Each structure stands twice: as C-alpha cells, then as structure tokens.
Structure 1
Amino acid sequence: MSGNKYNQLKAMFAITRAGLQSIMRSPSTVMFSIGFPMVFILVFGFMGGGSGVSFKIAFDPACDTNNAVYHIIQNTPGIKTVTKSGKELQEDLEKGRIVAVLNIQKNGKLASAADSMAFLNGNKGADYNIQLKSSEAVNPQTLATFQNIFLAGIINKLNKGTYPNVPTVADISPDVQKVPGRIYRTIDFILPGQLGFSLMSASVFGVAFLFFSLRQQLVLKRFFATPITRPYIILGEALSRVIFQMITAVVIVVIGTFAFHFTLVKGFETFLEIMFLSFLALIVFMGYGFIVSGLAKTESTIPMMANIFTLPQFLLAGTFFSIDAFPAWLQPLCRILPLTHFNEAMRNIAFEGANLISCWQNIGVMLIWGVIAYAAAVKVFKWE
C-alpha cells in the first residue's frame, strides 16, 4: 500500500468528470445556463439591428407627394405608412395607434430681406417644410425619438447623398400640432404585459409541477379510493389555482390603477372585461401545463419543457416591448402567439375603450390555442 501513493490529482479529475456528467444530465441546468442567455442575445440582437426601430405614421391628404423627401420617408425601413383617411385616421391618431401625421409642403416665397440676401449669396434655405400632427395619446418619448432622431436622420442622409450643396433640403417644424387624446403612460403598456406574464407563468409552471407532484406521490391514485370521479379531481385542483390567480390579477390591476394611474377607460365595466379576459387566458394557458405534466419524466425536465412554450412568448409577444421593434420577418411569428393576442386585447380594452366583442379576433385565436392544448392534454395526461 505504501508503494502505491494515492493520486490526489487523479481523484480530483474523477470528481470533476462526475460533476460535469451530473450537470449535463440535468436539462433544466443546461437550459438556464446556456439556453436562456442565447435566446436573450438573439432577441436583443434582432432589436439592435438596422430594422429594429419601427414607427407607424400617416401622410396628410394635402401633403406634397411629388418630391424626394416624401419618397425617401415612404421607403425607409422602419417606417410603416397607414393609408387611412378622414374619421378613421383621426381615430387612430387620437388613440395613439400612429405616431404622427406628416404634412410635407414646399416652402413659399422668401419672407424677409435677410432671406433674400441669403438666397443671393447662395445660402438657399430649405426647399420643403415638414409639419407633424400627433396626439396626447402617443408616448412623448416615442414622438421625440421619431421627430428629433429618426426623421432628422433621414433628412440628413438625404442631404449628404442627393443635395450636398445645400444646407438642408427640408426642415422639420419644431412645433408639433397635438390633437386631444388620452395621456399615454408607460404603465398602460407595461401592466398588460406583466399581467399576461404572471398568468402564463402560474398556469403553465404551476399546473405542471402540481399534477406531476400529485402523480409522483400517488395522491391522484389515492383519490381513486374515494367516491369522487376523475373529472372532479382535476377540476377541484385546477379551480384552486384559478381562484388564486384571479386574486393576483385583481391585485395587479388595482395597484396599477390607484398607485400608477393605469387607464381603465370605462371604469368598473373595463375592469370586469379585463377579469373575464384574464380568466379565459388562465384556462387556455393551463392546458399547456397539463401537457407538460403528462410528458415530463422527471421533475427536472419540467422547467425546460415549460420554457419551450413560455419563453418565446415572454420575449416575442409584446410583454416587455412592442413587437414592432422586431424585424419584419419575425413579426408574423409574434402575431400568432396566444400571449400576443391577450396583450393586444387587454391594451385595446383598457386604453382604447374596446369591448370583448370588438376583440373577437384576439379571443378567437386564444380559443384556438386552447382547443389545441386540451386536445393534446387528453392524449398525454397520466394518472399514475
């Protein structure tokens, strides 16, 4: 024994190898350590690209469209032009659906002797003037970014590329005409997303862990010895979670309303519509919790499987930022997610005064996801 000295390094490397094998056998560890950071890097990388900024605008019917300024704005990536007019355009503006209405006009006669002298000296003023009309419902920061950074950058690029010999081809009027509208606050965007985040997290993760645990501990099997039937077993457990999460939804909305002035356009009526929408979302999202609980072989696989469904929606469904911030090719995927439609419906009901009937498309998509979820859950759910 004395001739075979114990190799400390060899033992250390053996422990290291065993530890690595243990880590790699844990899907949740791999997901949280590698998967999450990579997804966040990809998402924010997309947002930071050239097509990451997007603004919805419209052009005034009286706008001069026979000029280079109009055409370059019209064809700039990140500009989405709304073609509505009249009452529809006014309604979109008042509700903050578009950032601004642009009116491009050719400058008139030189207004002063100083302007005339500047013209004779070759220092010609801007050929065109851009006047903006916006609404109090538009986020002031969004409007300022569009006016002073994005639009100004477009004009500067046009100056350097096409009109290098003039100070500027167009000037942007600093005075923005504002039409009446509800004051848009950050909370009006953030709260619906955070409520959706809470409902989905609790529904999918909570149901998955709950029923997996009940099955593993043979609690569900013991229920069979009682007179209660299987459907009522599931309904009883699910109902407790629904009640708890509805209380959570009430608390979130009440605190948001009274502490941060979250907009409830029609007061208590809007509150009730939001609660109904939250209840519907809970039922839909719980279906995917049942699927995960049925497919999971071990408790450590539940977070990974649940995040396959939830993580893309937390990032892409307008939870933390508008889906208009993503590249055009990614937005169709964002718009089919059920959480996207919950967020859109809630924002329309809370801020714009829509009702449940007018949000039938959003609700319809959520119901389709619900039918798919429960059809799959019936197939994979296990009692033992």
Structure 2
Amino acid sequence: MSNQTEPSYSQWSALTAMTRAGFRAIFANPIAIVFSIIFPIIFVLIFSAFGTGRGTVYKIALLPGSDTVNAVYRALQKNPSVQLVEFSDSAQLEKELIKGRLTGALLLASTPSPNTGAGSIRVQFFSTTASGPTIAPFLDLLDYIRLRQQAASQPDTSVSIDRPVIREVRKYRPIDFVLPGQLGFSILFSTLFGIAFTFFGLREQGVLKRFFATPVHRINILIGIGISRISFQLLSVMILLLFGHWVLDFTLQQGWISVLHIVSFTIMMLLLLMGVGLIFSSIAKTDATIPLLINLFALPQLLLSGTFFSVEAFPLWLQRICDMLPLKQFNDAIRKISFEGLGWLDCGKEFGILLIWMLLVYGLLSRLLRWE
C-alpha cells in the first residue's frame, strides 16, 4: 500500500478569502456607506457652520493683580454681555486664548489720587487673532463704559484704555473641533454595528459551524472579518480628513505626518471597538438585543466625550468621568495631533487609557466569545 500525504492547506488563502468576503458584505450594503461617510460629512457641514460668530456674550479673563473694586470692574460685572472668568493656570489661559474661546484678557490697575481721592484707572486688553470677530465689539463696549464713568457716575475718575495687544496666532476654526468628533462618531457606531451583526449572523446561520469542518483556523476568521471592517473604516476616515482639509480648511499642522498619526490612533480605536462588538454579539440572545447593548455603550460616550460640544462646561466630577471614556481620549488625541501638531509620544495619557480599555475588553472577550 503506498503512503499518501494529505495536501497542505494554505491558511493565508483562507485568510484572504475571509477578508474578500467581508469586503463584499460591507459594500453590498449601501447603508454602511451612508452611515460611515455621507452622514458624517453632513454633520461636519452643519456643525462647522456653528460658532463662526460668538453672539453678544464676551468671555473675558481677569488677569492676576487686577483691581476688583474699581468702577470699571463693577460695570463689566453688571453687564449681561460680559462673562468674567479667572484662571489660576497661565498655561490654560494661553490655550484658551490661542483657540479663540476667550474674547481676551483684562488687567485693571487703579492709582488713587492723594488730593481728590478719586484717582485713575488703567485698562489693558490682551487677545489673539483667533478671537477676531469679537474683539472690536468688546472694545467699543469698553470705551462706552469709560465714557459713562467719566461723564456720569465718576466724573473725577480718569479712565484710560491702553492700545490693545493682539497677537497673531494660528486661527482655530469650528471645523478643528467638529471634525475629530465626527471621526469618532463615524467609527464608533459603524464598527460596533458592523462587527456585532456580522459575527452574530455568521454564528446564527451556521456559517461558523461549517467553517469548523474545514482546516481554517478560528483566529483567521476573526482576522479576516477585522481586516475588512478596519480597512473600510480607515477609508471613510481618510475621505473625511481629506474632505475637511481641502473643502473646509481643517488644520493638519504637520501635513501627512499628522494624517499618519491620526490613522495609527484610529486603528487602535477600531481594534478596541471590534472587541466590544464581538462581546455584544456573544452575549446577545437575539439580534434585537444588539442595538440596545450598543446604545448603552455608545450613547453616553457620544454625549460625554466632546463629540459635538466641549465637556469643559460640565462640573468637575463629571469631567473626571468623561476622562475615563475611550471616545473622549480618541477625540482629544485627534485634536492634539491635527491642530497642535503633536505625535504619539505627546499623547501618552490618551494612549495609556485606550490601552487599558483594550486589555480589559480583550480579557473579557476571551471568556465570553461564543462560536456556536
């Protein structure tokens, strides 16, 4: 009897076949393209149109050493169009000025007169070109307060306003905040729904069981599904980035280097979301349960991760909760990379929190993953 050797089975061929099948499943569903690319572009256009003007409220930082008992300060404090704030951290104040979140900063100095007891008030105003639309109206308001104090309530008080100091900085546009949030919004829901329903469908329809009768390794099934989903989401991210940069002037401080850093962070976030989607597909008893699980995970992050609006207006205790969410770290990292020109090493906090989430998710997945 002659010895017959079994033909070798190429795991690489199996992996590429699974990947191609995943791509076909994605592009066969037009809804995936709508939610991954078209919807985020629509949201970018809508939200980037907001915030181009700041209305009638002027947010003014009061610099340390300012006199808070003189007539100018009291007039500003009573004016409903002025919001006075103080910063204990000069670096945070500088950051707010550069991003145009403040109209400017004021230094109020009073010099009492030994003869009349009234004296003089010196007003110094500092701002950046990022706050351009609100500077002139506020200076007009400041001059009105000066004239009113001298002509009416305080005729013996001299109020002088120094020439404003306006520094030239890189313009921080609404799109620089909106687009990173839309990237997070796009990959969050598309990846969770795509992975969860795909794996759930393969299991419930018996496709996975039929794969087990072949020499295909189980890990290649997951890798094939993952590669197709990650590649599609990276394509949508690139389209959003290029659309934002060329059409809406989205800032990419380091050019293609910034794009590469954004792509690398996106891959990490996609791997994390892929694990979450597999967990949901494993614990769901019916396909109707999957959207509920996804919404329980995704909606709080959508509201608390700076996707559509900054979380800085939240109470401090809520901001600390926000900092624990993976989408918040992803959004922050993309904004730092794109606008500030930072890299991986400068986003250590964001990378560390995402890594902790990945370890927790895949540790849980190793116990919960159901193949049958």
State whether TM-score is above 0.5. yes
- Aligned pairs for 1:272-283 within 5 A: 272-283=260-271
* Cα distance in 1, alignment partners of residues 185 and 158 from structure 2: 44
SS in 1 for 2:316: coil
Contact 2:191 2:273 (C-alpha < 8 Å) held by counterparts: yes
SS in 2 for 1:227: coil
Q: 1:134 aligns with which of 127, 130, 134?
A: 127
Q: Which residue of 1 aligns with 2:178?
A: 190
Task: Show CA shifts across 1:353-384 (max 9, x none).
Answer: 11110111011111111111111112111101
* Cα distance in 2, alignment partners of residues 356 and 292 from structure 1: 30
Q: 1:92 aligns with which of 91, 95, 113?
A: 95
SS in 2 for 1:249: helix
SS in 2 for 1:330: helix
Which blocks of at least 5 consecutive residues in structure 2 are unaligned?
1-56, 78-82, 146-151
Deviation at 1:81, TM superposition (A): 3.8
Q: 2:290 aligns with which of 302, 305, 308?
A: 302
Which blocks of at least 5 consecutive residues in structure 1 are unaligned?
1-53, 110-118, 156-164
Deviation at 1:98, TM superposition (A): 6.1
* Cα distance in 1, alignment partners of residues 207 and 158 from structure 2: 74
Q: Which residue of 1 aligns with 2:5?
A: none
Query: Per the alignment, do residues 64 and 271 of structure 1 end up closer, same or farther by CA in structure 2, a change over 3 Å counting?
Result: same
Residue type matched to 2:110 in 1? K
Deviation at 1:300, TM superposition (A): 0.7
Q: Which residue of 2 aligns with 1:334?
A: 322
Residue type matched to 1:134 in 2? S
Deviation at 1:83, TM superposition (A): 2.9
* Cα distance in 1, alignment partners of residues 327 and 58 from structure 2: 22
Q: Which residue of 1 aligns with 2:48?
A: none
- Aligned pairs for 1:50-65 within 5 A: 59-60=62-63, 63-64=66-67
Deviation at 1:96, TM superposition (A): 2.3
Deviation at 1:59, TM superposition (A): 4.6
Deviation at 1:90, TM superposition (A): 8.3
Contact 1:93 1:134 (C-alpha < 8 Å) held by counterparts: no
Query: Per the alignment, do residues 377 and 65 of structure 1 end up closer, same or farther by CA in structure 2, a change over 3 Å counting?
Result: same
- Aligned pairs for 1:1-384 within 5 A: 59-60=62-63, 63-64=66-67, 69=73, 81-85=86-90, 88=91, 92=95, 95-96=98-99, 99=102, 100-106=104-110, 128=121, 130-138=123-131, 166=153, 177-384=165-372
Contact 1:102 1:130 (C-alpha < 8 Å) held by counterparts: yes
Task: Show CA shifts across 1:171-228 (max 9, x none).
Answer: 9979753211111111100000000111111221211111111111111111111111
Instruction: State the TM-score, normalized to the length of structure 2.
Output: 0.69
* Cα distance in 2, alignment partners of residues 354 and 56 from structure 1: 28
SS in 1 for 2:345: coil
Query: Per the alignment, do residues 215 and 132 of structure 1 end up closer, same or farther by CA in structure 2, a change over 3 Å counting?
Result: farther
Residue type matched to 2:129 in 1? E
Q: Compute the RMSD of aligned alpha carbons.
A: 3.9
- Structure 1's consecutive aligned runs of 4 or more residues displaced over 6 angstroms after TM superposition are 54-57, 65-68, 167-175
Residue type matched to 2:368 in 1? V
Residue type matched to 1:105 in 2? A
Deviation at 1:278, TM superposition (A): 1.1
Deviation at 1:326, TM superposition (A): 2.4
* Cα distance in 1, alignment partners of residues 224 and 84 from structure 2: 51
Contact 2:63 2:106 (C-alpha < 8 Å) held by counterparts: yes
Instruction: State the TM-score, normalized to the length of structure 1.
Output: 0.67
* Cα distance in 2, alignment partners of residues 175 and 132 from structure 1: 8
Task: Show CA shifts across 1:321-341 (max 9, x none).
Answer: 000132333222112111111
Contact 2:70 2:110 (C-alpha < 8 Å) held by counterparts: no
SS in 2 for 1:357: helix
Contact 2:181 2:307 (C-alpha < 8 Å) held by counterparts: yes
* Cα distance in 2, alignment partners of residues 355 and 203 from structure 1: 25
Contact 1:316 1:334 (C-alpha < 8 Å) held by counterparts: yes
